[in-house]
Every structure is written in structure tokens, then in C-alpha cells.
Amino acid sequence: MRTLDWERRLYLTAHPFAYPLLRGLARRGPIVRVPGLGVVVNAAPLAREVLMDGETFRKDGPGSPGELWTPVLGPSVLLNMEGDAHRALRRRLADLFTPSYTDALCARVLADPLERLAGRLARGATVDLVDAARVLAGAVISEVIGLDAGAEADWRHLFEQGERIVSMVSLRTRRLGPAQIARARAVLDPLGAIAAKAYAAGDESTVMGRMRALGLAEDEARGAAGAFFLTGTETVATLLPRLVALLADSGQLPRVAAARGLLDRAIDEAMRVTTPTPVMLRSVHRPAVVGGVAIRPGDRVLIATHNCCRGLGPFDLERPHPPELRRLWFGAGPHFCIGYPLATAQIRRVARTLLDAAPLRITGRAAARGVLIPTYSRLTVRSEAVA
């Protein structure tokens, strides 16, 4: 099966009805009004135009991410705020995830589990990259929240808790029901208490301590920790197996293993093709015209990020990304993902360990069902470097 056949299978397995609709809308043009759904944006330049205008297109109105997540995370997290309050919190968080800090954090937290992973590959063992990625993502988010969880079983359990919350959301979900909110809070409230304890300790070597030093109030720090927990673990854990699969299926894995300078390009290209945020939602607060379409206050704008990204074509390490597409999967403008440096630091470090074991052969895989971000339920690999 060719590279994009597997990617298409992942999306169809995760979203058997919504995905064909999403791809069908891409053929309707760069922007189209769909009754009952909203105004759908399929072109990267228009998507960036919407995302850059935080006054017109907001995340805190009806049909926006704020309506979905505020009952779970509270009112003071970046993904459901706008205006002066959002800008002020964003400024205080600007120095939280610097590249040097995130690289050092991942080096420290992932050293032991990556050494164990490398050892298994070196012995010729078959490794499930889906499980390994979940464990590693759980290890990092444990550090971010302030959990004293140092065993792989703890990290795996933490990831599964977040997965249960995120899996309640589909591409069509506008808001969570009371029972869903209660289930999410049953997971997040204890984690928030742990994060608050780390915040109170004030150790600036920890993420929670850094947030306190940066001037965040306790409720803001707890909300940020919850948002990182829900959005960061799935992005990293789902991308890693798909990155390896894309490189292997396209025949590029040996090339990237031999020329590590290509790794960042490979990560960006894999992010474009997999699109960890398939859609982004905005609520319209004042009249606007985008791509010739009049948009009214109260409208819901659905940015089909997947359509925008896939419009460039299939996975190809030689194709440059145009400026309007650059890391669009992490957003743009005032809501560009603040955790981007942490996510890429994790992905880069794990990918290097895997490439060290090249040549790798995929020995089995299966697509996951009932997930928001399409992914593999299993992707097993074995190093062929073992005699």
C-alpha cells in the first residue's frame, strides 16, 4: 500500500463519515458556505488570513473551541481567550517553552526511556512505536504537570487518561454534554491539584514553578497545565509512528538516517501530511469578507486545516512549503501553538533514537478507531541492523 493510501486509511478509520465530507468540500473551492456546518475554508492563504485576525474571528464565541473546552478547563486558558486578557497571558507565557529549555527538559526526562528503547532495537526486538510514543509523551507531560511518576506504566496510564477525554470529541462536536464534562473533570481535577502543589513549591526548574515565576496566578497555571495535557500528548504520540511510516513507505528513511540535517524538514513535511489539527474553529464577531464570501457575526468558521495542507500534494521532502502554509497545523497569529517548541523537541529526540537503529522494517500495522487525531493502533518495527 502506498504512503498516502495508509494516511487515507487512518483518516477513514477514525472518521468514516466526516472525512469524505471534509475532502469533498475541498473540491468545492477555497471557501464555501455549508448549511448546518458553517463557512469552510480550504485554502492556506485564506486560513492564514482568518487566523491572523483575532478580533473578527475568535475562539471564545458560539461554535468555537472555547464553547467546547471552557466547561472542562476553566475560563483562563489560551485556547478559549481573546483580546487584552489573552494578550496579557500570552506575554507572561512567552518565555515558558524556549528551545533551550525544552531541549534540556526532553534530554533529562527521556534519557532513560530512550536508552531502553534503543536497547530493545539493538537486540533485534520488535517494538510497537504506538505504545512507545505514548509512554514517551506521557513521561514529558508528567514532568510538565509536576507528577512524580517515574515508571512506564504510570506514563502509559496518564496518556490513556488524556486519550479518553479527547476521544469524546469528533470533527462534528460543538460542545460536551454534562456526563462528558463530569468524566473529563474526574481526570483533570486530580491532575490540577498536583499541578497546584508543584506551583506552590515554586521550583523554577519545573514548568509549574516557571509559570509562577513568570507571574501566572495559580488558576492560570492549572488551566495551562490542563491545556498542555489535552493538546500536547496526542500531537506528539500520533505523529511519531506516522513519521516513521511516511519515511519508510516513501523510501526516504535510509536517506534521513544517513543525513540528519534532513530530519527537521522531514518532521515538518510529516506534520503537513498528517495535519495533527485537521480542523480549527472560529466564531465570527464582526462582518468580514474572506475570499469573496461575506461572513456575518454569529457565523461559525471551520478552517479545514487538512485540506489546506494536503493541497500542496503528497509527502515529498524536496518540495518547499510556501509562506502561507508554514506550520499552519500549529495555527497562526495570536493563537499560534505556544507548545510548539516542546512538541518538536520531543519528536526530534525520539526520531534520532529511531534513526540510530536504521535500517528499520515495518513488520505490522493497524489503523485506530474512535480517535480524534487519526493514528495507528499498532505500528511494529524491527531493526535490520542486527546480525
Please check the confidence at residue 357 and state whether its pLDDT lies above 80: yes
266 and 285 Cβ atoms separated by less than 8 Å: no
Nearest partner of 105 among 344, 287, 328, judged by Cα: 344
Nearest partner of 75 among 62, 88, 85, judged by Cα: 85
Average pLDDT over residues 248-257: 95
Instruction: Report pLDDT for 171.
Output: 63
Q: Which of 32-41, 215-224, 254-263, 341-350 shows the lowest per-residue confidence on average (mean pLDDT)?
A: 215-224
Beta-carbon contacts of residue 109 (< 8 Å; ≥ 6 apart): 139, 140, 142, 143
**Across the strands, what pairs with 33?**
39
Please check the confidence at residue 365 and state whether its pLDDT lies above 60: yes
Average pLDDT over residues 315-324: 94
Distance from C-alpha of 348 to C-alpha of 343, rounded to nearest angstrom: 9
pLDDT averaged over every residue in the chain:
88
For residue 117, give the C-alpha cell.
Answer: 528503547
For residue 98, give the C-alpha cell.
Answer: 524556549
Regarding beta strands 38-41 and 300-303, do their DSSP bridges make them parallel or antiparallel, or are they unpaired?
parallel
Instruction: Report pLDDT for 387.
Output: 60
Q: What is the DSSP letter of 296?
A: -
Average pLDDT over residues 47-74: 82
For residue 289, give the C-alpha cell.
Answer: 469578507
Distance from C-alpha of 127 to C-alpha of 321, rounded to nearest angstrom: 33
Please check the confidence at residue 302 and state whether its pLDDT lies above 80: yes
Residues 87-134 have pLDDT tens digits of 888 888 888 888 999 999 999 999 999 999 999 999 999 999 999 999
Instruction: Return the higher-pLDDT residue of 377 and 191.
Output: 377
Q: Which of 172-176, 290-294, 371-375 shows the lowest per-residue confidence on average (mean pLDDT)?
A: 172-176
Instruction: Report pLDDT for 1.
Output: 46
Nearest partner of 63 among 319, 378, 283, 384, judged by Cα: 283
Residue in this structure with the C-alpha cell 510538565, named with its chain if needed: 144
pLDDT band at 328; cut points 50, 70, 90: very high
Instruction: Report pLDDT for 358.
Output: 92
Average pLDDT over residues 69-83: 71
Quickly list H helices, the chain: 3-14, 18-26, 44-52, 65-73, 83-93, 99-122, 129-145, 152-166, 178-201, 207-213, 218-249, 253-258, 263-274, 305-310, 340-356
Fold assignment, 3-383: Cytochrome p450 (1.10.630)
- Domain definitions of the chain by residue range: 3-383
pTM for this prediction? 0.91
189 exposed, middle or buried (CB, 10 Å; 0-12, 13-18, 19+)?
Answer: exposed
Distance from C-alpha of 206 to C-alpha of 53, rounded to nearest angstrom: 34
Beta-carbon contacts of residue 144 (< 8 Å; ≥ 6 apart): 207, 208, 225, 228, 229, 232, 342
Residues 129-166 have pLDDT tens digits of 999 999 999 999 888 888 876 788 888 888 888 877 87
